[in-house]
């Protein structure tokens, strides 16, 4: 039933020729369903023809068609319907049956053919959400984190406006795995202020697996997996592509992107480029000085196809220079207190495109070579990936030191992945595979500061197997995985003495899932899976001050019998055992479709043992005054919550969507709350499609979001109390419990509006963000102490498809 | 199945061999912590008697570690005019790095602010300029824009008393002006000495 799913994911929508040992008997058949892309309603009486034959069929009232007695095992289907763009789909019998989404003539979007249910990871019992097409189009110049936050259950952890990370069900950084173009995105993901270096303008589809998909994707998928794919490399395509420009009023940003594609009989090419320059953003009441950014990206794809195999090569480069709010620099607690008490940022300059310190400069290169073979109903896949991530972070320092990065890291990653999909065996379909990774992390000389994290070499090997079988209406699936990670660490202590260590971690993971179509309109899925994550070098070895806190990694402090914290030590696993984080996530979704309503509710419970976090250990005096210091340790945590989304088609002209997400996160060992957990949020969007003669295909959208105050937040300890504690020696911290310097920001209400339309091959779009120009702060923005979020922004974009 | 596993193992070991051979075993490069100031020396010289020198040291041996700094008391004579010079050093660097000159070279971006127990000195009067930029303070040095720096200052004691002296060094790139205060910019130094005038 799902044989070929792996294939569909890998080379979705494109033809896969096969040579089969069987004789050419006319015993093949094809069936499928045809829908309107925009309304998602079935299209009855659409015509489907097998090219070069007289065979064909029309769809019935449910959009279903079936053609039997086809002599070839691969053929082109021509799908046509009055008023809609004609679709030619290359189909072979080894693929899952196609679902075709057609678009009306006047619309510039392209029709979509989906073969099988494109469930990545082959685990259909996991909740999955997707952004593509129009939704992706509307946020083309946003950063990846913001694009992802359009999915219910996904929110953002940001450091200002340019550094935005996705949070899935309350987890982020190296508890969320990102697969970019089939490769695990390897970057310095331990840092909350390190956003993934992926340009959303090059992507065609983004999917989020909200369950513990560790079994398929490997360690660190504690919260979920984000799958990002570029455009498919289609064969038999004339030169086609897309060119777009966007301008924004806030930040006076200008951006452009272009894509070119061509497909021959056996080869296909793709080239993409994009550029964006943004100046200082503006909050309703003041400039956000030094929030400009510059980004450019480039990618090339190549595919060579033969009936028995398929080869693809892909290269991409993404360069970012990201400004961080100048006023967010705090030298000590007094500076931070000044900033918190000030209504406005402490430094406000006139608008500028200049990007000064503090800033981050990141360059990410990715090269992928992949081969797929198809033999006797087996599918083999081998993929090699090479990534170089060069990250330089510039702080506000004295004099000429400003020209030197404080953090300068190069991370080289080689990966080799192999997968084998076996033919159906007694009703079971499945995959087995291995994933191997080698990483080398190198501190670059010339930072004039002792390396923040050590150098390391890392080897990671994983083996997995997943299987699925239908038992009547019930689908059962299971998977197993084993991982081994070995790391060779070399770092320097504050006095430049060298420390070294060899670490290895291993883990077995498993998953079991169930799905069932309860009725024609109602589907239920449930999955329970384990996930794991070895501690990373940052959590083990971090030492020292960053902004207004000081942190010590798990192996950088010791506590003497009197309870004093000593930091002149470097420990190892014999002194203090560090276990891998291990999680169990149970996730269930119920989705239904009835008349003009579609909806889905997802609930989850994620229990994470040995959860690594930092909590205050006391206050210490430095030359800059008193600082609270934080010690990394392990605890047990629970993350549970609900996401819901519903979509109504009220009439031909009106439709609306409602989304909500809520997460409850608790440190169950210390009985305390975690910082920066996204608060309860509701989103409602209404779209109206007027029939205006001179503005065809226009659509007006209005969306409102209400974000609550986070009531499950750690206690507040004002800065004055922290400082007094140093002088008086009083304990102000609860053991094991973290704290915040201020209350979480108030609830806020945001309104966005849009107008879009298409004329011939040109799409145009006007977006107005924060229509009411409201001043608000986000609890999950780490710069919430310093400044409001940006105010009203008009963004106009044009794109030309050819 | 078995043959595929074998194949996988072969590929794995091959890959492990190839990739490990291109790694290196180096520790991160040696870097001097030029940011850090770990030792501040305050030298009070009697302006009428150059041999009367009082030195007080503030020293935090482990910088950002948890060991608290060791601070000398400042003991001054009554009714005496002192020339105060400040020296900043980074003892974590090897050899010990002098930061005083760096601050001098970047004088237009730096300014010292002083705060003390109200009325502790005869001159300057009051409690210093931390709480008010224009409060009395006797700077001896200035930057290119004739704005005060504060590595060198003058202090006149009066009657016997005790109190404390707080010294703040602010880094104020593009901010330092005639009106910039101790609340502007980033704090490079914020330390206190106990003072006895006897």
pLDDT in tens, A162-214: 999 999 999 998 899 999 998 999 999 888 889 999 998 888 888 898 877 78
- In angstroms, the separation between the Cα of residue B40 and the nearest Cα of chain A is 9
% of chain A with per-residue pLDDT over 70? 93
Total domains in chain B come to: 1
**pLDDT value of residue A3:** 40
Q: Which two tokens stand for residue A3?
A: 């044989």
Q: Note the Cα A688 to chain centre separation in Å.
A: 30
- In angstroms, the separation between the Cα of residue B157 and the nearest Cα of chain A is 26
What is the pLDDT confidence band of residue A601, given thresholds at 50, 70 and 90?
A: very high
Residue B10's CB is within 10 A of a number of other CB atoms, namely 10
Spell out the SS3 assignment of A491-524. Answer: EECCCCCEEEEEEEEEEEEEEEEEEEEEECCEEE
**Residue A632 confidence (pLDDT) above 50:** yes
The HSE-up count of residue A798 (CA atoms within 13 Å, CB side) is 6
Which has more confidence, A673 or A119? A673
**Which residues in chain B are closer than 8 Å to A436, comparing Cβ atoms?**
11-12, 15-16
Spell out the SS3 assignment of A559-571. Answer: ECCCCCEECCCCC
Q: Given an 8 Å threshold on Cβ–Cβ distance, is A618 in contact with B36?
A: no
**pLDDT value of residue A86:** 78
**pLDDT value of residue A263:** 87
- In angstroms, the separation between the Cα of residue B48 and the nearest Cα of chain A is 32
Domain range for B144: 39-197
User: Measured between CB atoms, which of A448, A500, A550 is closest to B31?
Assistant: A448
Query: Does an H or E element contain B194, and which?
Result: strand B186-197
Are B137 and B128 spatial neighbours (Cβ–Cβ below 8 Å)?
Answer: yes
Q: Which two tokens stand for residue A57?
A: 């069929």
Query: CA-CA distance, A287 to A348, in Å (whole number)?
Result: 6
Q: Given an 8 Å threshold on Cβ–Cβ distance, is B26 in contact with A347?
A: no
The HSE-up count of residue B175 (CA atoms within 13 Å, CB side) is 19
Q: Which two tokens stand for residue A31?
A: 């069936």
**Is B55 contained in some domain?**
yes
**Which residues in chain A are closer than 8 Å to B92, comparing Cβ atoms?**
494-495
Which has more confidence, A186 or A132? A186
**pLDDT value of residue B5:** 47
**Is B4 contained in some domain?**
no
**Is B14 contained in some domain?**
no
Q: Given an 8 Å threshold on Cβ–Cβ distance, is A399 in contact with B102?
A: yes
Q: Given an 8 Å threshold on Cβ–Cβ distance, is B27 in contact with A420?
A: no
Query: Does an H or E element contain A216, and which?
Result: helix A214-217
What is the pLDDT confidence band of residue A495, given thresholds at 50, 70 and 90?
A: confident
User: Measured between CB atoms, which of B22, B27, B188 is closest to A624?
Assistant: B188
Mean pLDDT of chain A: 86
Q: Given an 8 Å threshold on Cβ–Cβ distance, is B26 in contact with A455?
A: yes
**pLDDT value of residue A379:** 86
**Residue A531 confidence (pLDDT) above 60:** yes
- In angstroms, the separation between the Cα of residue A126 and the nearest Cα of chain B is 27
Which of A324, A450, A495 is the mutation pick for testing B, counting most B CBs within 10 A?
A450
- In angstroms, the separation between the Cα of residue A550 and the nearest Cα of chain B is 7
What is the pLDDT confidence band of residue A93, given thresholds at 50, 70 and 90?
A: low
For residue A505, which of A630, A411, A610, A417 has the smallest C-alpha distance? A610
**Residue A478 confidence (pLDDT) above 80:** yes
Which A residues, 392 through 421, put their C-beta within 8 Å of a C-beta on chain B?
A: 396-399, 401, 414, 416, 418, 420
**pLDDT value of residue A7:** 35
| Nearest residue of chain A to residue B65 (CA atoms) | A567
**Residue A730 confidence (pLDDT) above 70:** no
Stretch among A33-47, A310-324, A656-670 having the lowest mean pLDDT: A33-47
Q: Is A625 on the interface with B (CB under 8 A)?
A: yes
**pLDDT value of residue A628:** 82
**Residue A116 confidence (pLDDT) above 50:** no
**pLDDT value of residue A362:** 96
Stretch among A77-91, A95-109, A442-456, A695-709 having the lowest mean pLDDT: A95-109
pLDDT, one tens digit per residue, over A347-394 is 899 999 999 989 999 999 999 999 999 887 788 999 999 999 999 999
For residue B36, which of B88, B90, B86 has the smallest C-alpha distance? B90
Average pLDDT over residues A474-485: 93
**Which residues in chain B are closer than 8 Å to A446, comparing Cβ atoms?**
29, 31
Mean pLDDT of chain B: 85
Query: CA-CA distance, A163 to A191, in Å (whole number)?
Result: 11
Q: Given an 8 Å threshold on Cβ–Cβ distance, is B33 in contact with A450?
A: yes
Average pLDDT over residues A665-678: 93
**pLDDT value of residue B185:** 84
Query: Which value does ipTM take for this structure?
Result: 0.81
Are B82 and B155 spatial neighbours (Cβ–Cβ below 8 Å)?
Answer: yes
What is the pLDDT confidence band of residue A115, given thresholds at 50, 70 and 90?
A: low
| Nearest residue of chain A to residue B64 (CA atoms) | A544
Are A233 and A312 spatial neighbours (Cβ–Cβ below 8 Å)?
Answer: yes
Q: Given an 8 Å threshold on Cβ–Cβ distance, is B25 in contact with A488?
A: yes
User: Measured between CB atoms, which of A448, A550, A565 is closest to B34?
Assistant: A448
Q: Is the dihedral of CA A471, A475, A476, A480 positive or negative?
A: positive
pLDDT, one tens digit per residue, over A146-168 is 888 888 889 999 998 899 999 99
Query: CA-CA distance, A683 to A749, in Å (whole number)?
Result: 10
Ranges under pLDDT 50 in chain B: 1-2, 4-5, 17, 19-23
| Nearest residue of chain B to residue A454 (CA atoms) | B28
Which A residues, 451 through 490, put their C-beta within 8 Å of a C-beta on chain B?
A: 451, 454-455, 457, 459, 461, 463, 488, 490
pLDDT, one tens digit per residue, over A402-427 is 889 989 999 999 999 999 988 888 98
Domain A227-232+240-801: which topology?
A: Maltoporin; Chain A (2.40.170)
**pLDDT value of residue A618:** 81
User: Measured between CB atoms, which of B25, B31, B183 is closest to A450?
Assistant: B31
**Residue A117 confidence (pLDDT) above 60:** no
- CATH homologous superfamily of A1-118 equals Carboxypeptidase-like, regulatory domain (2.60.40.1120)
Which of A275-289, A644-658, A724-738 ranks highest by mean pLDDT? Answer: A275-289
Q: Given an 8 Å threshold on Cβ–Cβ distance, is A397 in contact with B35?
A: yes
Q: Is A336 on the interface with B (CB under 8 A)?
A: no
Please give the model's pTM, rounded to 2 decimal places: 0.84
**Is B118 contained in some domain?**
yes
- In angstroms, the separation between the Cα of residue A562 and the nearest Cα of chain B is 14
**pLDDT value of residue A18:** 35
Q: Given an 8 Å threshold on Cβ–Cβ distance, is B103 in contact with A500?
A: no
Q: Give Cα separations from A258 to A140, A296, A576, A724, B43 (angstroms).
A: 12, 12, 53, 58, 65
Domain positions in chain A are 1-118, 227-232+240-801
Q: Given an 8 Å threshold on Cβ–Cβ distance, is A443 in contact with B33?
A: no
**pLDDT value of residue B59:** 94
User: Measured between CB atoms, which of B40, B64, B106 is closest to A544?
Assistant: B64
């Amino acid at each position: 039933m799902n044989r070929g799913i792996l294939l569909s994911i890998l080379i979705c929508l494109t033809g896969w020729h096969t040579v089969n040992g069987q004789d050419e008997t006319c015993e093949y058949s094809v069936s499928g369903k045809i829908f309107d892309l925009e309304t998602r309603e079935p299209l009855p009486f659409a015509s489907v023809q097998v090219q070069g034959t007289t065979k064909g069929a029309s769809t019935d009232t449910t959009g279903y068609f079936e053609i039997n007695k086809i002599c070839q095992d691969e053929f082109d289907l021509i799908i046509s319907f009055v008023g809609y763009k004609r679709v030619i789909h290359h189909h072979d019998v080894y693929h899952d049956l196609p679902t075709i989404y057609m678009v009306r003539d006047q619309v510039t979007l392209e029709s979509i053919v989906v073969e099988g249910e494109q469930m990545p990871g082959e685990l259909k019992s996991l909740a999955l959400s997707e952004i593509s097409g129009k939704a992706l189009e509307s946020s083309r110049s946003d950063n990846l984190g913001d694009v992802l936050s359009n999915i219910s259950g996904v929110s953002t952890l940001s450091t200002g406006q340019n550094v935005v990370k996705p949070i899935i069900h309350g987890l982020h950084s190296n508890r969320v795995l990102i697969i970019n173009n089939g490769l695990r995105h390897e970057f310095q993901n331990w840092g909350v202020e390190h956003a993934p270096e992926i340009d959303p303008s090059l992507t065609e589809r983004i999917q989020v697996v909200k369950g513990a998909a560790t079994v398929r994707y490997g360690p660190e998928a504690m919260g979920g997996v984000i799958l990002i794919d570029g455009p498919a490399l289609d064969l038999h395509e004339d030169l086609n592509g897309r060119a777009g420009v966007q301008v924004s009023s806030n930040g006076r940003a200008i951006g452009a992107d272009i894509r070119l594609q061509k497909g021959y009989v056996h080869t296909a090419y793709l080239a993409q480029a994009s550029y964006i320059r943004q100046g200082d953003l503006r909050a309703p009441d003041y400039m956000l000085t030094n929030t400009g950014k510059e980004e450019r990206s480039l990618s090339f794809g190549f595919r060579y196809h033969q009936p028995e195999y398929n080869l693809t090569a892909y290269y991409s480069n993404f360069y970012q220079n990201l400004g961080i709010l100048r006023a967010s620099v705090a030298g000590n607690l007094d500076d931070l207190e000044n900033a918190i008490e000030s209504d406005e940022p402490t430094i406000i300059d006139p608008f500028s495109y200049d990007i000064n310190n503090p800033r981050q400069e990141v360059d990410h290169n990715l090269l992928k070579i992949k081969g797929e073979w198809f033999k006797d109903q087996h599918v083999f896949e081998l993929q090699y990936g090479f990534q170089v991530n060069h990250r330089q972070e510039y702080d506000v320092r004295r004099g000429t030191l400003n020209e030197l990065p404080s953090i300068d890291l190069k991370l080289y990653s080689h990966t080799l992945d192999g997968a084998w999909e076996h033919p159906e065996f007694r009703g079971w379909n499945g995959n087995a595979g291995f994933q191997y990774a080698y990483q080398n992390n190198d501190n670059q000389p010339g930072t004039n500061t002792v390396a923040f994290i050590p150098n390391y070499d890392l080897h990671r090997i994983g083996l997995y197997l997943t299987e699925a079988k239908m038992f009547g209406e019930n689908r059962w699936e299971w998977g197993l995985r084993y991982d081994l990670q070995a790391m060779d660490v070399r770092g320097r202590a504050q006095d430049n003495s060298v420390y070294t260590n060899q670490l290895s971690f291993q883990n077995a993971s498993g998953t079991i899932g169930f799905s069932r179509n309860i009725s024609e309109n109602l589907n239920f899925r449930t999955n329970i899976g384990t996930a794991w994550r070895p501690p990373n070098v940052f959590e083990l070895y971090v030492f020292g001050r960053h902004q207004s806190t000081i942190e010590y990694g798990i192996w950088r402090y010791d506590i003497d019998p009197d309870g004093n914290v000593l930091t002149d030590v470097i420990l190892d696993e014999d002194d203090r055992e560090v276990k891998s984080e291990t999680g169990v996530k149970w996730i269930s979704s119920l989705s239904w479709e009835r008349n003009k309503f579609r909806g889905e509710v997802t609930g989850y419970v994620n229990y994470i043992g040995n959860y690594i976090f930092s909590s205050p250990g006391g206050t210490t005096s430095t030359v800059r005054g008193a600082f609270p210091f934080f010690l990394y340790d392990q605890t047990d945590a629970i993350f549970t919550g609900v996401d819901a989304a519903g979509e109504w088609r009220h009439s031909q002209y009106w439709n609306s969507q409602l989304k909500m997400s809520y997460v409850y996160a608790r440190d169950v060992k210390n009985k305390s709350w975690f910082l920066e957990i996204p608060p309860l949020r509701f989103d409602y969007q209404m779209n109206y499609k007027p029939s205006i003669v001179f503005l065809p295909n226009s659509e007006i959208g209005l969306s409102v979001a209400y974000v609550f105050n986070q009531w499950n937040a750690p206690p507040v300890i004002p800065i004055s109390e922290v400082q007094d504690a140093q002088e008086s020696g009083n304990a102000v911290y609860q053991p094991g419990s973290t704290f915040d310097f201020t209350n979480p920001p108030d609830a806020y209400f945001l309104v966005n509006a849009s107008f879009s339309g298409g004329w011939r091959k040109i799409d145009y779009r006007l977006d107005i963000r924060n229509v009411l120009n409201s001043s608000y702060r986000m609890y999950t923005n780490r710069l919430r102490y310093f400044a409001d979020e940006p105010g009203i922004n008009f963004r106009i974009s044009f794109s030309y498809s050819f | 199945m078995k043959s595929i596993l074998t194949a996988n193992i072969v590929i794995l070991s091959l890959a492990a061999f190839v990739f490990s051979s291109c790694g290196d075993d180096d520790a991160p490069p040696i870097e001097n912590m030029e940011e850090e100031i770990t030792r501040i020396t305050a030298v009070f010289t009697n302006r009428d008697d150059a041999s009367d020198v009082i030195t007080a040291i503030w020293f935090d041996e482990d910088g950002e570690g948890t060991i608290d700094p060791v601070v000398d008391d400042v003991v001054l004579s009554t009714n005496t005019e002192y020339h105060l010079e400040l020296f900043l050093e980074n003892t974590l660097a090897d050899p010990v790095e002098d930061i005083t000159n760096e601050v001098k070279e970047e004088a237009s971006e730096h300014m010292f602010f002083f705060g003390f127990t109200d009325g502790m000195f005869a001159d300057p009067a009051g409690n210093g300029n931390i709480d008010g930029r224009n409060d009395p303070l006797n700077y001896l040095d200035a930057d290119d824009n004739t704005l005060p720096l504060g590595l060198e200052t003058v202090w006149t004691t009066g009657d016997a008393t005790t109190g404390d002296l707080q010294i703040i060094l602010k880094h104020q790139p593009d901010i330092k002006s005639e009106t910039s205060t101790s609340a502007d910019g980033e704090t490079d130094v914020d330390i206190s000495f106990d003072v006895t005038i006897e």
